[in-house]
Amino acid sequence: MYTRLRTRLASLSCTFVLAAALMGCGGPLSHTVDGFDLSAISADKRPAVEKGEKDAAAARAAADEAKTKVTTAKEAVEAAEKAVEAKEGDLKIAEASLKLEEAKASADRDAAVAKGEGEVKKKEQALELAKATLKLAEAQLTFAEKHAVWSEKTWIVALAKHELAKLDAKGGSGPKYDETHATFEKQVAEAEAELAESKGERAEAEQEVKEAESKVSKAKTG
């Protein structure tokens, strides 16, 4: 029953793994400052470079943490799938029991049927809650995926800014330096544009989580 969902989750995970792998091949930046030696930089120019390095390290740590949350979210979806399957089984048992009571010709038949109908309704409500919980877990997984990609792109922006800071600290002059500087500025701008796009996708996923949470609350109240 949940083959389509499992295929979708596998696709999401593969997409994320592929993106991470591509960023790991030789580093995510096309342009870096070669032969940079911080000790050779004047003291007044070092703080900007050191800040850039610190920001990039913090962004990398956040991206790594986001990846672990994807794994946790996927496990939650798998657990929710099993819960739905269990509730479907409970409902089938209750429905079969109700049919047996309806078939009886005894004095207490009406009471037994009423009780059976109550049990079926309870199982139906439990199943609806399980389904809503599964949808929430699925939405949370999607958000975790989007958040992880956003975190990776945040790290790339930090790296690009760090490289630009290194170039500024190293200094230079002339048309060649100006061309190189423009290239590094473009690299920052492109990284920021990708981050902005990722931020929008992340926001959409977050809204879907809120909507799913609302449906779970509604299912709980019956």
pLDDT in tens, 153-202: 999 999 999 999 999 999 999 999 999 999 999 999 999 999 999 999 99
* pLDDT attached to residue 115: 83
On the question of pLDDT at 7 being above 70, the answer is no
* pLDDT attached to residue 18: 38
On the question of pLDDT at 1 being above 70, the answer is no
Distance CA 24, CA 18 (A): 10
The residue ranking higher by pLDDT, 8 or 67, is 67
Write out 159-180 in H/E/C secondary structure. Answer: HHHHHHHHHHHHCCCCHHHHHH
* pLDDT attached to residue 105: 61
Kindly state the percentage of the chain with pLDDT values over 90.
70
Cβ atoms of residues 133 and 212 within 8 Å: no
* pLDDT attached to residue 117: 83
Mean predicted confidence (pLDDT) in 104-121? 77
Cβ atoms of residues 68 and 118 within 8 Å: no
Report the candidate in 142, 118, 121, 134 with the shortest Cα–Cα distance to residue 86. 134
pLDDT band at 208 (very low <50, low <70, confident <90, very high): very high
pLDDT band at 106 (very low <50, low <70, confident <90, very high): low
Distance CA 190, CA 185 (A): 9
* pLDDT attached to residue 215: 96
Cβ atoms of residues 167 and 181 within 8 Å: yes
For residue 204, give the H/E element and its range.
helix 175-221
